[in-house]
Structure 1
Amino acid sequence: MSGTIIKSARNTPNAPQDLGPYTQSVAFSHYNNISAQLPVDPNTGKMIEGDVAAQARQCLSNIKAIVESIGHVMDDMVKATIFLKDMGDLEAVNSVYREFFPGYLPTRTVLAVAGLPLGAAIQMEALISNGEGTFPQAPCALVKLARNSDKAPQCALSTHTVAFSHYNNIGAQLPVDAASGKLVAGGIQEQAAQCLRNIKNVLESIDVPFDDIVKVNIYLTSLADLEAVGEVYSTFFPDSAIARAVAYLPARSVVSATALPMGARVQMDAVISHGDGTPPQLVEDRHNLVIRARNTYKAPRSPLHCQSVAFSHYNHIAGQLPIDMATGKVLTGCIREQTAQCLGHIKTIVESIGHMMDDIVKVNIQVANIADLAEVDAVYTRYFPSYLPARTVIGVSELPAGALVQIDAVMSNAESTPPQA
């Protein structure tokens, strides 16, 4: 592994194991990445019987078992993502979710997808604060900063923004007007603009510039809307004269959802650099903190995002499609060939910035047919033959350019970015 900070990758028998080539929990620096948990009984290794509420409780119980196995509590969670097979199940899931978060609420993203592993009705992943850090960092009683803004729509089950250490996590923003609490009038462009405006309002409420965003996830119910969303997106990024001067764009992934809350056509969440840190860290001079965005011509480039954006001890890799570099189009081939192409692009990006695949702490995979997962895994394990990152897999109804698979990643960045050591 690159650098001196050590990843801490751990499994517990109290949560399901051997469901795929991944580690349940991978910590690096001050964050801990929890693999998506299915409603599987760890004692039997099989899906539980019962309705979606029972499945939701099992997913959360599995997360809780992992969190507690590494000396943490559920209130250490900063972000939860819920993947549903049917958005109509959300109310039942919410009733269970409240049991696990009776007071503090992490940020949250909810979407319905075309398929989940094992035919599950629900799957959940989590991001956990990791105050003790990883070797050789010394433990530090860092404080989460959970905040809401009156200028963005609020939710009874999530917080707008939860900062910890040098990152800030913004929960999914729907195209909802904060004053009325309803979806904005208009089409996809109006909805996309409202999502981005809500994110901007949240950031302004905590005195954070919009160009401090390092990664954006866009969830669409129709990829036919992607070009129109891109037109709006390009009016928000870059946001400042400094960012325009260096053509800064955050990393980005686009995810196809079968449905979104409130019948929205689009929602967006974001990861933000948080240079001032959280107590007891000392406030840094933001003008000296560096967000390091990089591209290589050896992997597909986009006018709307950077391939890799590093800040502090993490590096965010944009969603990679199986693009043939010779033609600029999706590779003609089977799911195995397309998976190898996506992972090959990630490997190229990672190595272009002096890292290696073992520096990856979390991988997100979207497949057009969840039944292809075994074929994906056959290729995946060639790129991760020993150490396995945390992982989330979903089935989607469509992918850009008719691809069969798309993959993004979060990578450890032991060398950090200036002036952090």
Structure 2
Amino acid sequence: MTIDNVVLARDTENAPKNSLHSQTVAFSHYNNLSAQLPIDPTTGKLVVGGMKEQAEQCFKNIKAIVNSIDHTMNDIIRITVFVKDIQEVESVDEVYQTYFSTYLPARTTVAVADLPMDALVQVEALVSNGVGTIPNAPQTGDLIKLTNNTIEAPSNALSTQTVAFSHYNNITAQLPIHPTYGRIVADGVKEQTVQCLKNIKAILTSIDVPLDDIVKTTIFLTDLADLEVVDEVYAAFFPDSGIARTVGYVPARTVAVVEALPMNARIQIEAVVSHGDGTPPQAIEDRHGLIVEANNTDKAPICPLATQTVAFSHYNNISAQLPVHPETKELVSTDIKEQTAQCLTYIKEIIESVDHVMEDVVKVNLYVKDLADMAAVDEVYASFFPTGTPARRVVGVSVLPLGASIQIEAIVGNAEGTPPII
């Protein structure tokens, strides 16, 4: 009898299929869904119509996948919306509200340069998995979602500030909005970065969680030239405690340049946070004081502002990897195949450095400068994931750090979990 968690990939005929990825990959207490395009599963083509019709199809596909694994839309923990035109988000919101009329997940919304198949919108969901994926063993039972809002951070009628499930808190991406006035704080990216991080800290404080319990951040910028200033502020917030400073702990991190953000903000920051207490009815001995395990290997580029992999409970969160030499930080090549191979090789090296294998990957996110390169990218990708198991997201971006053509991040299962504090 085994008690190891398993990677459980599933597909349904009622949503679009793709040989390169699974529709949903469950591991432990989460189902990771592939980002859904507005594709009619019967025709394999984009639905006819504008933003509203395309958004409707995205949510239909998500609902079909969720229903196929015996879950409901209220089991969704986080929704991420990618649009090509930020001015059309209201049409997406109109559809969104028909699917989430009472319970509201955490949410992120960004406008990107391009989407596969020239779609107008793409929607991604993270879903709870109350029964977990431990075979041949009694389960905890249906875990409870814990939602929380605080007046110390901006509120939004379409999302919950934080949604906890099992051993993770999922934070709605924070814009630089002053919680009292409901407006963007200033034009300067420094002031906006400070406000985003203040909002995240206020949300975490409201649930008695310190900033250093963050395991992964994603920074969305509208101008890559702002990154140096952002990093200056970021370094002032992380590490946030004496213990974290002693060990030099910083979360895993991804920086993505997008076309536009809500309210014309220059920055938006998303956070995934450890939840050592877990959510009921997990037993105290199963959840108390789990350790955040951070790891770097010299076989992949090391960044002082990010840890390559941060494990907590049953997941490893991998920082986005660029196709650069570990020492010189220069691009390995201008060829997209070589760049893709380098990114995935780094992910492989990081995963193997913590005694895992590529088969443990549950989700891969690709940021690609030119989606016309995707045939070449997919050729390389398939050599690293020949079974097409991990869930996947692909978005087009206008620019990447260091002039790269591709950037890749991953979420990896951690079957043994992380130990409790002794």
Decide: shared fold, TM above 0.5.
Answer: yes
C-alpha distance 3-189 of structure 1, shift in aligned 2 (>3 A):
farther
In structure 2, the residue matched to 1:74 is 73
CA contact (8 A) 2:277 2:289 kept: no
CA contact (8 A) 1:167 1:271 kept: yes
| Deviation digits for residues 353-405 of structure 1 (CA, Å, limit 9, x no counterpart) | 10100100000000001111111100000001125200000000100000000
CA distance in structure 1 between the partners assigned to 2:248 and 2:273 by the alignment: 18
- Aligned-pair distance for 1:328? 2.5
SS in 1 for 2:363: strand
In structure 1, the residue matched to 2:7 is 7
In structure 2, the residue matched to 1:229 is 230
CA distance in structure 1 between the partners assigned to 2:15 and 2:80 by the alignment: 18
In structure 2, the residue matched to 1:92 is 91
CA contact (8 A) 1:276 1:282 kept: no
SS in 1 for 2:124: strand
Q: For residues 208-247 of structure 1, what are the structure 2 equivalents within 5 Å?
A: 208-247=209-248
CA distance in structure 1 between the partners assigned to 2:387 and 2:236 by the alignment: 43
Residues 1:33 and 2:32 aligned together: yes
In structure 1, the residue matched to 2:341 is 340
- Aligned-pair distance for 1:105? 0.3
| Deviation digits for residues 318-341 of structure 1 (CA, Å, limit 9, x no counterpart) | 000001235321122311110000
CA distance in structure 2 between the partners assigned to 1:26 and 1:398 by the alignment: 30
CA distance in structure 2 between the partners assigned to 1:186 and 1:389 by the alignment: 39
Letter in 2 for 1:101: F
Q: For residues 7-406 of structure 1, what are the structure 2 equivalents within 5 Å?
A: 7-18=7-18, 21-136=20-135, 137-139=137-139, 140-283=141-284, 288-325=289-326, 327-406=328-407
Letter in 2 for 1:64: K
- Aligned-pair distance for 1:3? 8.3
The unaligned stretches of length 5 or more in structure 2 are: none
CA distance in structure 2 between the partners assigned to 1:119 and 1:78 by the alignment: 27
C-alpha distance 328-351 of structure 1, shift in aligned 2 (>3 A):
same
SS in 2 for 1:181: coil
- Aligned-pair distance for 1:4? 1.9
| Deviation digits for residues 173-194 of structure 1 (CA, Å, limit 9, x no counterpart) | 0000000000002400000010
SS in 1 for 2:34: strand
- Aligned-pair distance for 1:138? 3.3
C-alpha distance 280-396 of structure 1, shift in aligned 2 (>3 A):
same
| Alignment RMSD (CA, Å) | 1.5
CA contact (8 A) 1:86 1:112 kept: yes
- Aligned-pair distance for 1:286? 8.7
C-alpha distance 186-116 of structure 1, shift in aligned 2 (>3 A):
closer
| Deviation digits for residues 49-87 of structure 1 (CA, Å, limit 9, x no counterpart) | 001000000000000000000000000000000000000
SS in 2 for 1:185: coil
C-alpha distance 6-287 of structure 1, shift in aligned 2 (>3 A):
closer
Q: Percent identity?
A: 57
CA distance in structure 2 between the partners assigned to 1:213 and 1:124 by the alignment: 24
- Aligned-pair distance for 1:42? 0.5
The unaligned stretches of length 5 or more in structure 1 are: none
CA distance in structure 1 between the partners assigned to 2:285 and 2:78 by the alignment: 24
CA distance in structure 1 between the partners assigned to 2:148 and 2:336 by the alignment: 42
C-alpha distance 284-238 of structure 1, shift in aligned 2 (>3 A):
farther
CA distance in structure 2 between the partners assigned to 1:242 and 1:161 by the alignment: 25
CA distance in structure 2 between the partners assigned to 1:386 and 1:3 by the alignment: 24
CA contact (8 A) 2:302 2:326 kept: no
CA distance in structure 2 between the partners assigned to 1:157 and 1:303 by the alignment: 35
CA contact (8 A) 1:275 1:284 kept: no
CA distance in structure 1 between the partners assigned to 2:295 and 2:24 by the alignment: 28
SS in 2 for 1:217: strand
| Deviation digits for residues 189-233 of structure 1 (CA, Å, limit 9, x no counterpart) | 000010000000000001111100000000000111011100000
Instruction: Please list every run of at least 4 consecutive aligned residues from structure 1 whose deviation after the TM superposition is greater than 3 angstroms.
Output: 282-288
Give the alignment's TM-score, normalised by structure 1: 0.97
CA distance in structure 2 between the partners assigned to 1:135 and 1:283 by the alignment: 18
CA contact (8 A) 2:128 2:165 kept: yes
Letter in 2 for 1:368: K
Letter in 2 for 1:5: N
Letter in 1 for 2:103: Y
C-alpha distance 284-260 of structure 1, shift in aligned 2 (>3 A):
farther
Letter in 2 for 1:77: I
CA contact (8 A) 1:132 1:138 kept: no
